[in-house]
Amino acid sequence: MKHTVKSWIAAILFSLAAIFGLGYAEPARAFTLVELLVIPSEFLVANQLATVAVSNTTAGPNAHDIHLVATAVNDRGTVFKTEGNKANPITISPNQTFHFGIRAPSTGNLSFHTIIELDTANAAVGDVMGWDVNTGQLISIMPGQVTLPAVQDIPAVGLAAGQSALVKVTNVSANNLMPTISLFMENGRLIKTMTPTVAPNQTFTH
């Protein structure tokens, strides 16, 4: 009888240990807002589709995952779509792009802008692409603007074979300017980085 009681006690203690062991979970990584990427308003007619894209631009020895929370807001200030949240943000690996689509309802037009919260500074670019409702062809690209810290995002340009493009930066201040200019592929891969010195009222062209 004593042996039976000891066996029951041992079984209960083992069961409690198993329950607590299964119930324990490693705390999730805390999301800390470091940079805000605001993508301007896009106007869609009924049934028209837009795609929001955010690319991880980290590369080389400093390449790392970034995390984001995306919020789409209509022109009345109402949030109608989210991707990720603070407890479970979206993860983007280096040189990868996260996409999500937004379609206007069949009953009418939709005007919206997108707010991208990021946990890393200077690590992402984003835009919204509008597609023709009849042909499905790309008809507009609106680049995002980083508000923390100050970064100017130049819209994407598609080049045919043998075609070239110029990047220009004009210094409108009274002091020398030393911008960091980075060129990226559509998939977020870094092509080239430059840090020229631009004198007041002068334009750097590359």
Please tell me the predicted confidence (pLDDT) of residue 31: 80
Please tell me the predicted confidence (pLDDT) of residue 2: 46
pLDDT category of residue 196 using cuts at 50, 70 and 90: confident
Q: Tell the burial category of 57 from Cβ atoms under 10 Å away from its Cβ (0-12, 13-18, 19+).
A: buried
Residue 168 has pLDDT above 90, yes or no: no
Q: The pTM is what?
A: 0.59
Average pLDDT over residues 20-33: 51
Average pLDDT over residues 173-192: 74
Q: What is the pLDDT of residues 121-142, one digit of tens each?
A: 889 999 999 999 999 999 999 8
Q: What is the pLDDT of residues 59-117, one digit of tens each?
A: 888 899 999 999 999 888 889 999 999 899 999 999 999 999 999 999 999 999 999 99
Structure-token match 């020398």, residue found: 176
146 closest CA partner among 167, 126, 176 = 126
Can you tell me the distance from the alpha carbon of 101 to that of 79, in angstroms, rounded to the nearest whole number? 15
35 closest CA partner among 92, 118, 114, 127 = 118
Alpha helices in the chain (DSSP H): 2-23
Residue 164 has pLDDT above 80, yes or no: yes
pLDDT category of residue 26 using cuts at 50, 70 and 90: very low
73's CB contacts (< 8 A; 6+ apart) are 79, 80, 112, 113, 114, 115
Please tell me the predicted confidence (pLDDT) of residue 184: 77
Can you tell me the distance from the alpha carbon of 146 to that of 84, in angstroms, rounded to the nearest whole number? 19
Percent of the chain with pLDDT over 90: 41
